[in-house]
Amino acid sequence: MKVALVTGSSRGIGRAIADLLRENSYQVIYTGTRESRPDNLPEECCYHVLNVKDASSREEIIRFVLGSFGRLDLLVNNAGVAPLVRQDILDMTEESFDRVIGINLKGTLFLSQLAAREMLREKTILDDWSPRIVNIGSMSAYTSSISRGEYCISKAGIGMVTKLFADRLAPEGIPVFEIRPGIIDTDMTSVVHEKYERMIEGGLLPVPRFGKPEDVAKMVLACASGLLDYSAGQVLDADGGFALRRL
């Protein structure tokens, strides 16, 4: 059985990704920052604490995966946070910037580094070797939101992290993908739900509805399937057509 590590998978998009992979025969390691196991996570699911901002926590999760299952076939870098307080870019604090960048960008970069090293090691010992890395970015990578600049900057950085790892790992046979969710109905968008709902009703999206976590999860499954492997650093937009330029 192939093994998938999904960061930030106790709820929201990450939970939908982990659940769908599990339904498709992956052994999934669900992760989150809470010490206690999420109440709604079935007992048969594997849950492990992970704070991607912390180097020792990143190292521990890789040790746990290898010690428990002996392999890592898929890393999904989903863990991410929004600013605790939305503030104008002129008022953004270093504390908020460091927190968002540390989790969203630094965590993704260095966990990918650890995972990639292990995936390369496994190349010589696994007969069914075909690992992949999927980064969950955002349409905020290229869309200005002046009240959450630190988030936009972190997701723009994810785009370059994807390119760098794709460039390095493609010759080794490890595809790296990025999925950019748009307006997805999660806890993160709940504080501006009514605003986005009005915008969608006003024609913002060609596909006129909020995205669902499952919409993103299906794209992760497509990346994991092997059907998209003749690409390097491919970006998939899970955004209802937001990226489509229209007159």
For residue range 143-176, list pLDDT tens digits in order.
999 999 999 999 999 999 999 999 999 999 999 9
Structure tokens at 40: 């709604």
What is the domain extent for residue 49? 3-238
pLDDT (0 to 100) of residue 76: 99
At residue 247 the predicted structure's pLDDT band, cuts being 50, 70 and 90, is confident
Q: Tokens for 245, please give them.
A: 């330029």
14 belongs to a structural domain: yes
* pLDDT tens by residue, 41-100: 999 999 999 999 999 999 999 999 999 999 999 999 999 999 999 999 999 999 999 999
User: Measured between alpha carbons, how far is residue 187 from residues 31, 49, 66, 100, 228 in Å?
Assistant: 17, 20, 32, 16, 30
Residue 71 lies in a domain: yes
Q: Which tens digit of pLDDT belongs to each residue from 214-246?
A: 999 999 999 999 999 999 999 999 999 999 998
* Domain-embedded: residue 82: yes
Q: Is 7's pLDDT higher than 90?
A: yes
Answer whether residue 133 shows pLDDT above 90.
yes
pLDDT tens digits along 182-216: 999 988 888 888 999 999 999 999 999 999 999 99
In a domain, 246, yes or no: no
Assess if residue 243 is contained within a domain: no
* Mean pLDDT of all residues in 104-119: 98
Whether residue 78 lies inside any domain: the answer is: yes
Distance CA 99, CA 153 (A): 12
Q: Is residue 245 part of a domain?
A: no
Report whether 183 contacts 192 (CB < 8 A).
Answer: no
Residue 191 C-alpha from the chain's centroid = 21
pLDDT class for 15, splitting at 50, 70, 90?
A: very high
pTM of the complete model beyond 0.85? yes
The domain spanning residue 69 has which CATH number?
3.40.50.720
Do the beta carbons of residue 214 and residue 237 sit within 8 Å? no
CA dist 171 and 165 (Å) reads 11
Question: Please, what sign has the CA dihedral across residues 9, 10, 12, 17?
Answer: positive
Which residues touch 16 (CB under 8 Å, ≥6 apart)? 212, 213, 214, 216, 217
CB 197 within 8 A of CB 235: no
Number of domains into which the chain is organized: 1
> Annotated catalytic sites, by residue?
151
